[in-house]
A and B are shown apart, each in its own frame.
Chain A
Amino acid sequence: MPAWKNAERTAIGLTLLLMAMSAFAQTGGFGVSELDIRVEDQLVLADARIDYALSTTAAEALENGVALVIVQRLRLQTARWWWGDAVVVSQQRRYRLQYHAISRRYVLTRLESGESRSYRSLDALLLRLGRIQAWPVVRLDRLDEGEDYRLRLDTGLEVDELPRLLRMVAWINPDWRLRSEPRYRELSP
């Protein structure tokens, strides 16, 4: 009875999907959903969308005054047949997430510039954090023509920036293992 079997399979699949979703909601996770390259005025720019979802544990820690640091790493690399990829450009943006109790707002600070913005909700903050627009990667004239380049973007929570006591827990607890798989985009100038 294939129909019955199919129904059963579907049910099991749905259950598994639900379980995975609930697990995802609990444990959170980062993922680079889009990565695009465009060139403007001889400048290679990257646009990206990153889905940030903090795990309950991390969100709780943030509510309780623990500052979280999230880093976004962008790399332009070329393949080498005789060795690992050569990195042409390596950039990173570090953001600090903080809860401001008096104003009841979440503050996002870019650590390189000290520039900060506050948000009414954590989701608004994460949405803003996940929207990367026109990240200048490299000037086009620095790239060799005919060479194949690969842009790589990944992001993750900096466990080393956590308070030391929490760091130990973070090494062990998977709730704190918040990092995305790298996403690649080919670039051939």
Chain B
Amino acid sequence: MMQLPRQAIVRILLSVLLILSLYLLSAATENSVRFGRLYLWLLLINGVVLVALLALIVNNLWRLVRSVRARETGSRLTLRLMALFVVLAVVPGLVVYGFSMQFLQRGVDSWFDVRVENALDDALALSQASLDQRMRDMQQRLQDAARDLADVTEEMAPITLGDLRARTGASELALLGENGRIIAASSVDTGNILPHRPEDSILLQLRQGRPYVGLDPIENAGLHIRALVPAPGPGGPGSSRVLQGLFQVSPRIDNLAAEVETAFSEYRELAYLRGPLKDSFSLTLSLVLLLSLLFAVWSAFYLARRLVAPVSRLAEGTRAMAAGEYGTQLAPGGNDELGYLVRSFNDMSRRVADVRDAARHSQELVESQRAYLETVLGRLSSGVLALAPDGSLRTYNQAASAILSVPLSEGVGRPLSALVNRYPDFGPFADLVAGDRQSPDSEWRAELSLDTGEGRRALICSGATLPGEGDRGGEVIVFDDVTTLIQAQRDAAWGEVARRLAHEIRNPLTPIQLSAERLQHKVGTRLSGDEAVLLQRSTETIIHQVEAMKEMVQAFSEYARPPALRPQAVDLNALVREVVELYRGEPEQPAFRLDLDEDLPWLQADPGRLRQLLNNLLRNALEAGEAGHCRVVVSTRQGSGRFADMIELDVQDNGPGFAESMLNQLFEPYVSTKPRGSGLGLAIVKKIVEEHNGMIGARNVDGGARISVRLPRVMPGDARQGNEQ
């Protein structure tokens, strides 16, 4: 059920009160006894209401004008509706008022017919004429009676008057003396001792000798004819006696005259009150109309506001929507079409907000998927590159950058070849991708050996065309660094070879040595001269060579089975200085340059193994250099970027550098370009680096070769010690 707003209830109540008061006013106007007394009060109350309504209207109008000036939403529509309502209410009201006023004037006038008025006047004149005749008769009778009194003395007068009264048929006869003094009186009504005295002006008239006759309406006794005539006494005409007679008009004529009198006076009164009556009706009508109109105007404000309110709210809501405040909800507005509009707006707004939320949600979903994918890609050890259909780099993962040793972030949105200029090492990879992109196959696989800053790397690449718009979408390239894998396989194979060789060779060596010593011991004493010298030399050679072979086998054996690591905190710089000091007195007169980072933190490592590593590297460098002109640069520094938790050690010589063909197997046993050396030096270096979970690389630089070693500051599985240090 619709609930009326409080203001509407107040207005309805007010209008009911107003109608009631107007009804009472009109009832009071129509000569009603019941409301007649209320009339003035009603006028007053309605007047007050009128003023209050006027004040309200002025207030409303002022508010409306102010809001129109302030260009508030809906104010102009309110004004227009308001004007419409006022015109609709006022114009018909005024027309009805005009006609009513005219009808009222004419209607009231039409009650008073000229003919009726004339008839009443005539009736009055007729009555008067008829009574005039009787009056003259009565006057004549009284004059006759007066003559009879001419010789009656004052003492005799009462008796004579009684006779005369009976004879003349008067209801009262009185003989008056000087100044109206009563000499004698006779009346039908015996209870009434005092006669009805005439007024002074009549006595004055009588004193002048003129008789008087006239009608006298006496209360409760009906119409009487009063006649006064001079009644000279025995003293002659000089005496101023007056005879007064009151004659009752016959009851029939009295009744008729009374009716004529009543009708006439009522009509005269009505005719006289015509003006006030019209005024009163006009006043009531005007008041009713004015109050109704003002109430209508006042209500028009309310109605216009009420009608416009949802429209204003809609306008505000639309503005809010346009400003991006989706989901704006308006207060519900009734069951009419405007209310429906508001509900529709609310629905629309809610849906827009839902759609926006859904879009935002899906965007978040996409973002999270993307982040998820990025995380997965970032955690992949394989490098992944995605290329746009035009061959430019779209996305990549961290592993790709690490494996290729190229900051791929610089190349996003550009073709891979753009990076080659700055990073020449990247060339083979870019060429490979470009070449495979030309092929019609949607998938491809290739192996690639790439020379990077961290050394030579073996990559296995595979590419696939991505689905996309047009005939060719983008491309995804996945590649793995298999250098370590290949190296591990080689190391395993070499370890096996070394173990077997050691085992197989060591066994016959001892018998050979023993045999040679016995031969020397047994045969040497029997021989003499040159033979003895020959034998001596030969057996010594055998024994020396066997010793050498034993050492070699021992080295093999060590290579295959390294001792357990005993890691502890090591100051690499101190170790470097210590080891370098050992080589300063070498016959090659090497020149060392130490480029050590003084802020280098200590690292967790086996100092013995590190010493061997340094030994091997320095010897390798010294052996590469030309005797007398050997220059070795040893540098240490803290790693940066993704190697931030590593310590880097470079050893660079000024030798001829590594042969290109050897770069791939540089760290394998028995790979050496030098006439001296076991061929195990760099293999052992690599082994030590790997024992410490480090990395090693070698490359040719201008004027020599450089071997770079990266060692973690804290060995995995030994974090506790590292922290303590």
Residues of B within 8 A of A60 (CB): 272
- Pick the interface stretch among B70-78, B257-265, B376-384: B257-265
Q: Name the residue on B nearest A98 (C-beta).
A: B265
Residues of B within 8 A of A185 (CB): none
Distance from A159 Cβ to chain B, minimum over Cβ atoms (Å):
11
B contact face: mostly helix, strand, loop, or mixed: helix
B215 touches A64 (CB 8 A): no
Assembly CA distance A100 to B214 (angstroms): 12
Closest 5 pairs between A and B when the two form their complex, measured CB to CB = A103-B215, A64-B272, A65-B265, A116-B219, A65-B269
Q: Name the residue on B nearest A100 (C-beta).
A: B217
Query: Does B298 interact with chain A (Cβ within 8 Å)?
Result: no
Taking A101-B261, A105-B214 as known contacts, 6 extra A-B pairs with beta carbons closer than 8 A to each other, sorted by chain A number, are: A102-B217, A102-B257, A103-B215, A105-B216, A114-B220, A165-B31
A165 touches B273 (CB 8 A): yes
How would residues 90 to 126 of chain A score, 1 for a CB under 8 Å from any chain B CB and 0 otherwise? 0000000001111111010100001111111100100
Query: Does A11 interact with chain B (Cβ within 8 Å)?
Result: no
Give the size range of A's interface with the partner: 20 to 34
Q: Name the residue on A nearest B131 (C-beta).
A: A102
Assembly CA distance A117 to B272 (angstroms): 25
Assembly CA distance A16 to B36 (angstroms): 41
Assembly CA distance A116 to B265 (angstroms): 18
Residues of B within 8 A of A (CB): 31, 36, 39-40, 124, 127-128, 131, 199-202, 214-220, 223, 257, 260-261, 264-269, 271-273, 276-277, 279-280
Residues of A within 8 A of B218 (CB): 116, 118
B261 touches A100 (CB 8 A): yes
B216 touches A118 (CB 8 A): yes
Assembly CA distance A88 to B18 (angstroms): 47
User: Among A66, A115, A120, A121, which residue has its beta carbon within 8 angstroms of that of B272?
Assistant: A66
User: Among A105, A114, A119, A163, which residue has its beta carbon within 8 angstroms of that of B219?
Assistant: A114
B280 touches A168 (CB 8 A): yes
Q: Name the residue on A nearest B269 (C-beta).
A: A65
Residues of A within 8 A of B (CB): 60-61, 64-66, 99-105, 107, 109, 114-121, 124, 128, 163-166, 168-169, 171
Distance from A114 Cβ to chain B, minimum over Cβ atoms (Å):
6
Using A101-B261, A103-B223, A163-B269 as known contacts, say yes or no to A169 and B279 having CB atoms under 8 A apart: yes
Using A107-B217, A120-B214, A166-B276 as known contacts, say yes or no to A102 and B127 having CB atoms under 8 A apart: yes
B272 touches A61 (CB 8 A): yes
B217 touches A65 (CB 8 A): no
Residues of B within 8 A of A61 (CB): 272
Residues of B within 8 A of A115 (CB): 219
Residues of B within 8 A of A119 (CB): 199
Distance from A146 Cβ to chain B, minimum over Cβ atoms (Å):
41
Residues of A within 8 A of B223 (CB): 102-103
Distance from B138 Cβ to chain A, minimum over Cβ atoms (Å):
14
Residues of A within 8 A of B202 (CB): 120
User: Among B128, B201, B261, B268, which residue has its beta carbon within 8 angstroms of that of A120?
Assistant: B201
A64 touches B269 (CB 8 A): yes
User: Among A66, A166, A168, which residue has its beta carbon within 8 angstroms of that of B40?
Assistant: A168
B219 touches A171 (CB 8 A): no
Residues of B within 8 A of A100 (CB): 215, 217, 261
User: Among A114, A117, A124, A164, which residue has its beta carbon within 8 angstroms of that of B36?
Assistant: A164
21 pairs, CB–CB < 8 Å, chain A vs chain B: A65-B264, A65-B266, A101-B268, A102-B223, A107-B219, A116-B219, A118-B218, A120-B201, A120-B202, A120-B214, A124-B199, A164-B31, A164-B39, A165-B31, A165-B276, A165-B280, A168-B40, A168-B276, A168-B279, A169-B276, A169-B279
B273 touches A101 (CB 8 A): no
B219 touches A101 (CB 8 A): no
Residues of B within 8 A of A128 (CB): 199
User: Among A114, A124, A163, which residue has its beta carbon within 8 angstroms of that of B201?
Assistant: A124
Q: Which of A117, A165, A171 has the most CB of B within 10 A?
A: A165
Q: Name the residue on A nearest B125 (C-beta).
A: A102
B273 touches A171 (CB 8 A): no
A contact face: mostly helix, strand, loop, or mixed: mixed
A65 touches B268 (CB 8 A): yes
Distance from A98 Cβ to chain B, minimum over Cβ atoms (Å):
8
Residues of A within 8 A of B40 (CB): 168, 171
User: Among A64, A102, A105, which residue has its beta carbon within 8 angstroms of that of B124?
Assistant: A102
B127 touches A163 (CB 8 A): no
Assembly CA distance A116 to B40 (angstroms): 33
Assembly CA distance A120 to B267 (angstroms): 22
Assembly CA distance A65 to B265 (angstroms): 5
Q: Name the residue on B nearest A128 (C-beta).
A: B199
Assembly CA distance A5 to B220 (angstroms): 64
B277 touches A102 (CB 8 A): no
A64 touches B268 (CB 8 A): yes
Distance from B267 Cβ to chain A, minimum over Cβ atoms (Å):
8
Distance from A166 Cβ to chain B, minimum over Cβ atoms (Å):
6
B199 touches A120 (CB 8 A): yes
Using A124-B201, A164-B31, A169-B279 as known contacts, say yes or no to A103 and B268 having CB atoms under 8 A apart: no
Distance from B126 Cβ to chain A, minimum over Cβ atoms (Å):
10
Distance from A58 Cβ to chain B, minimum over Cβ atoms (Å):
12
Residues of B within 8 A of A105 (CB): 214-217
User: Among B200, B219, B271, which residue has its beta carbon within 8 angstroms of that of A109?
Assistant: B219
Assembly CA distance A163 to B277 (angstroms): 11
Residues of B within 8 A of A164 (CB): 31, 36, 39
Distance from B684 Cβ to chain A, minimum over Cβ atoms (Å):
136
Residues of A within 8 A of B267 (CB): 65
Q: Name the residue on A nearest B200 (C-beta).
A: A124
Distance from B526 Cβ to chain A, minimum over Cβ atoms (Å):
180
Residues of A within 8 A of B199 (CB): 117, 119-120, 124, 128
Assembly CA distance A64 to B264 (angstroms): 9
B216 touches A101 (CB 8 A): no
User: Among B31, B201, B260, B271, which residue has its beta carbon within 8 angstroms of that of A102?
Assistant: B260
Assembly CA distance A166 to B218 (angstroms): 28
Residues of A within 8 A of B277 (CB): 165
A103 touches B219 (CB 8 A): no
Assembly CA distance A66 to B268 (angstroms): 8
Assembly CA distance A128 to B272 (angstroms): 27
Q: Name the residue on A nearest B274 (C-beta).
A: A165
Q: Which of A99, A107, A118 has the most CB of B within 10 A?
A: A118
Assembly CA distance A156 to B176 (angstroms): 36
Assembly CA distance A103 to B254 (angstroms): 12
Distance from A131 Cβ to chain B, minimum over Cβ atoms (Å):
11
Distance from B274 Cβ to chain A, minimum over Cβ atoms (Å):
9
Using A120-B214, A171-B40 as known contacts, say yes or no to A102 and B261 having CB atoms under 8 A apart: yes
Using A65-B266, A120-B202, A168-B39 as known contacts, say yes or no to A103 and B272 having CB atoms under 8 A apart: no
Residues of B within 8 A of A118 (CB): 216-218
Q: Which of A64, A65, A169 has the most CB of B within 10 A?
A: A65
Q: Name the residue on B nearest A60 (C-beta).
A: B272
User: Among B200, B219, B271, B279, which residue has its beta carbon within 8 angstroms of that of A64?
Assistant: B271
Assembly CA distance A60 to B214 (angstroms): 23
Distance from A177 Cβ to chain B, minimum over Cβ atoms (Å):
15
Assembly CA distance A95 to B166 (angstroms): 35
A102 touches B220 (CB 8 A): no
Distance from A67 Cβ to chain B, minimum over Cβ atoms (Å):
9
Residues of A within 8 A of B261 (CB): 100-102
Using A102-B128, A165-B277, A166-B273 as known contacts, say yes or no to A121 and B201 having CB atoms under 8 A apart: yes
Residues of B within 8 A of A166 (CB): 273, 276
Residues of A within 8 A of B265 (CB): 65, 99, 101
